[in-house]
């Protein structure tokens, strides 16, 4: 049987950062940033379904932004709604919610350390946050 990849998502109100695992499930690489409009319920699910099919993805890991006291706020609720929308379109895929506290900050820090300009950081921050989310999940498996 062909081994399936895992994708990680960093869901925002305007973009969804997408990262993908290697076939062994060891490393996460940034793949894409989908432009969405949460207010108008344009969630990029079709584009995501294309990626899932093309890349032979078996599991989707969605970052769940929690507050530091472990409660779920507005962005966390939005991520849960995104999961539900994804499962409506792809009921047979495994979707895991992953505590992503600090992933965006970690991504920002690594981009700053790499001396990436502000304009470039803005373009890749969501994809990088998705990499941190997915890598955290992959590390927990191994």
pLDDT digits (tens, 9 = 90+) for 22-38: 999 999 999 999 999 99
Asked if the model's pLDDT at residue 70 lies above 60, the reply is yes
Report pLDDT for 102.
Answer: 64
The CATH superfamily holding the domain 5-141 is YqgF/RNase H-like domain (3.30.420.140)
Q: Where are the domains of the chain?
A: 5-141
| SS3 category, 43 | coil
Report pLDDT for 86.
Answer: 95
The DSSP element (H or E) to which 19 belongs, if any, is strand 15-21
Cα within 13 Å of Cα(5), Cβ side: 21
In 3D space, the residue among 106, 100, 110 whose CA is nearest the CA of residue 67 turns out to be: 100
């Amino acid at each position: 049987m062909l081994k399936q990849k895992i994708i990680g998502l960093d869901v925002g109100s305007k973009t969804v950062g997408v990262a993908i695992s290697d076939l062994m499930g060891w490393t996460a690489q940034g793949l894409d940033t989908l432009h969405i409009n949460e207010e108008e319920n344009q969630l990029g699910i079709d584009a995501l379904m294309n990626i899932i099919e093309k890349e032979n993805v078996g599991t989707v890991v969605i970052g769940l932004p929690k507050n530091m006291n472990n409660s779920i706020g507005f962005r966390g609720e939005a991520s849960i709604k995104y999961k539900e929308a994804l499962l409506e379109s792809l009921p047979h895929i495994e979707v895991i919610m992953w505590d992503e506290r600090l992933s965006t900050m970690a991504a920002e820090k690594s981009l700053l350390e790499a001396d990436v300009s502000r304009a470039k950081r803005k373009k890749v921050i969501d994809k990088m946050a998705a990499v941190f989310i997915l890598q955290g999940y992959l590390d927990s498996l191994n």
